[in-house]
Amino acid sequence: MSVRLDVPVLTGSLVRLEPLTMAHVADLAEAVEEDRASYGFTLVPRGGDVRAYVAAQSARSGLTPFAQVRVSDGRAVGCTGFWDPRSWPDRPGLRAIEVGFTWLAASAQGGGINAEAKFLLLGYAFETMGVARVDLKTDARNHRCRRALERLGIGFEGVLRNWSMSWAPGEEGLLRDSAMFAVVASEWPAVRQTLLTLPGTAGRAG
């Protein structure tokens, strides 16, 4: 399946996930230039390239992109998306999807926005779309991201060599080893409870 999914705005107490549009360009152009120290392995544009980035993400086959909008001030502070939806071979509906293309401004990191965004996306995937599996992956060298996923209770499945294109500077056109993480449907209740202990998501029990 390569079509863009029809997903509504997903709202939490810290972050609102809105379908990515050109209306988010000005905020994102500021967000990407706050501090780029954590972007060594991630596809994050420079400020002057954000308009082209939004256009490309919106046109990318298989990607349903979102702006991560900080509820406290209404500013777009990052992006994320549903990626690579896979259908059942013999019946309607999705069997699996990936959460990816995720980044946050430096000022939005470490305050609960990432955890709540994952809560919203995983919840929609399992509880509304009815998938059996949600994947997440990162450059195997990105230990910061790997630790963050593990803290959220998302299971590490191993490293696939030469699996994805590298976004590291100087590695244009090269492949990277990808650290693979996933949640399957039977694990979602436990992961949900873990996420509910974190800032932002704690008010969403029930």
Please report, for the domain that includes residue 150, its CATH number: 3.40.630.30
End-to-end, the C-alpha distance of the chain in Å comes to: 32
Average pLDDT over residues 37-48: 94
Average pLDDT over residues 5-23: 96
Identify whether 5 is part of a domain.
no
82 contacts 61 by C-beta, under 8 angstroms: no
E strands within the chain? 10-11, 15-19, 63-70, 75-87, 94-104, 133-139, 155-165, 175-184
Residue range of the domain that includes 27: 10-200
Amino acid 202: pLDDT: 54
How many independent structural domains does the chain possess?
A: 1
d(CA 25, CA 165): 25
Amino acid 1: pLDDT: 43
What is the pTM assigned to this prediction? 0.93
d(CA 126, CA 124): 6
